[in-house]
């Protein structure tokens, strides 16, 4: 979802977007020790967007900036939903997390995930959630369903050798499969050893009642904000992203883009 040069035109032409990113820049610099604005202006040789502990905070900031820009145009959300790490920005936009708390989550989360960089893989398969879970039978200690994006698009995540075996079997049955260009197996058993440390790192979070409800892609439920404690964000990294379920629930309740 990231590319070299993203955000540059908005930074130069939209003062509201720039102000939001400058606030994120100060918070990220204090938390993670790198400049968001410097990274967005870097050339290909200097860019660190290939590092998960850089790209996730950068994407978070872009999301926050876009929301601020839309609000300046009079576009106010009735409800928000986020996809995986996107839930951090969604919770901040909803008013459930202060910027400093949201930045702490995205930076500490991604810093821990960097430890398992290079150890995992992910792949999109044209299966329902239930079919994907069945395909992983016997592989539960090595693979998980990571994301349910739509009724027929599901992401698998985990150990590369095990994932390769499953994909070979699925392709032999005519199932479309495509590997995702990542080297961190989020939402898989590889994340489990990081859970306790992430909960401890986020123990001082102070989530609050948001001004806008959020449809959780972890639980599928509407959350008001107070539920978004350290345990929730540990689940956000480990549990499957139930995006299809969340979008369906929003559609059924009358929400639309």
Contact 154, 145 (CB under 8 A): yes
Whether the per-residue pLDDT at 94 is higher than 80: the answer is yes
**Average pLDDT, integer, range 23-27:** 98
Tell me whether strands 177-180 and 121-125 are parallel, antiparallel or unpaired. Answer: antiparallel
Write the DSSP symbol of residue 53.
Answer: H
Q: What is the mean pLDDT of residues 202-222?
A: 97
List 156's β-bridge partners, or say none. 123, 145
**How do residues 74-88 score in pLDDT, each as one tens digit?**
999 999 999 999 999
Q: Are 226 and 209 in contact (CB under 8 A)?
A: yes
Q: How high does pLDDT run on average in the chain?
A: 96
CA atoms within 13 A on the CB side of 115: 13
Sheet strands (E) in the chain: 80-81, 121-125, 143-150, 153-158, 177-180, 214-215, 222-223
Q: What digits encode the pLDDT tens for the residues 121-178?
A: 999 999 999 999 999 999 999 999 999 999 999 999 999 999 999 999 999 999 999 9
| Phi, psi for 181 (deg, rounded to 5) | -80, 70
Average pLDDT over residues 29-34: 97
Tell me what pLDDT residue 3 has: 64
What average pLDDT does the segment 170-194 reach? 97
Domains in the chain: boundaries: 8-115+192-238, 120-182
The full DSSP string for 195-253 is: HHHHHHHTTT------SS-EE-TTTSSEE-STT-SHHHHHHHHHS-B-HHHHHHHHHHT
Query: How confident is the model over 94-108, as a mean pLDDT?
Result: 98
Share of the chain above pLDDT 70, in %: 99
Exposed / middle / buried, residue 182 (Cβ in 10 Å: 0-12, 13-18, 19+):
middle
Res 4 pLDDT > 80: no
**Quick check: 2 pLDDT over 90?**
no
Cα separations in angstroms, 115 against 38, 185, 194 = 24, 11, 9
Question: CA torsion angle for 56, 113, 232, 104 (degrees, to 10)?
Answer: -50
What's the rounded mean pLDDT across residues 243-257?
92
Structure-model confidence comparison of residues 8 and 125, the more confident one: 125
**pLDDT value at 237 more than 90:** yes
- CATH classification (class only), 120-182: alpha beta
CATH of domain 8-115+192-238: 3.40.366.10
Residue 15, token pair as written in the block: 């003062």
pLDDT (average), residues 100-115: 98
Residue bearing the bigger pLDDT, 47 or 221: 221
Q: How far apart are CA 159 and CA 174, in angstroms?
A: 22
> Model confidence at 42, in pLDDT bands (50, 70, 90)?
confident
Whether 9 shows a pLDDT value over 80: the answer reads yes
């Amino acid at each position: 979802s990231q590319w070299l040069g993203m955000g540059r035109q908005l930074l130069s032409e939209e003062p509201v977007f720039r102000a939001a990113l400058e606030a994120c820049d100060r918070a990220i610099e204090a938390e993670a020790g790198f400049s968001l604005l410097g990274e967005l202006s870097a050339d290909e040789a200097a860019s660190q967007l290939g590092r998960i502990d850089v790209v996730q905070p950068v994407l978070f900031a872009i999301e926050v900036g876009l929301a601020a820009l839309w609000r300046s145009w009079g576009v106010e959300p009735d409800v928000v939903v986020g996809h995986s790490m996107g839930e951090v920005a969604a919770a901040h936009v909803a008013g459930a997390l202060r910027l400093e708390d949201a930045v702490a989550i995205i930076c500490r989360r991604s810093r821990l995930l960097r430890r398992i960089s290079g150890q995992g893989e992910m792949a999109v398969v044209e299966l329902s959630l239930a079919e994907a879970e069945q395909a992983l039978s016997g592989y539960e200690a090595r693979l998980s369903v990571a994301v349910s994006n739509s009724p027929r698009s599901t992401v698998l995540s985990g150990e590369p050798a095990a994932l390769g075996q499953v994909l070979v079997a699925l392709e032999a049955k005519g199932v479309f499969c495509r590997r995702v260009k990542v080297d961190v197996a989020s939402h898989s058993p590889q994340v489990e050893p990081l859970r306790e440390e992430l909960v401890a790192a986020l123990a001082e979070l102070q989530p609050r009642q948001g001004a806008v409800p959020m449809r959780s892609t972890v639980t599928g439920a509407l959350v008001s904000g107070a539920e978004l404690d350290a345990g929730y964000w540990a689940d956000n990294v480990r549990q499957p992203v139930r995006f299809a379920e969340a979008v369906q629930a929003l559609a059924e309740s009358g929400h639309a883009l």
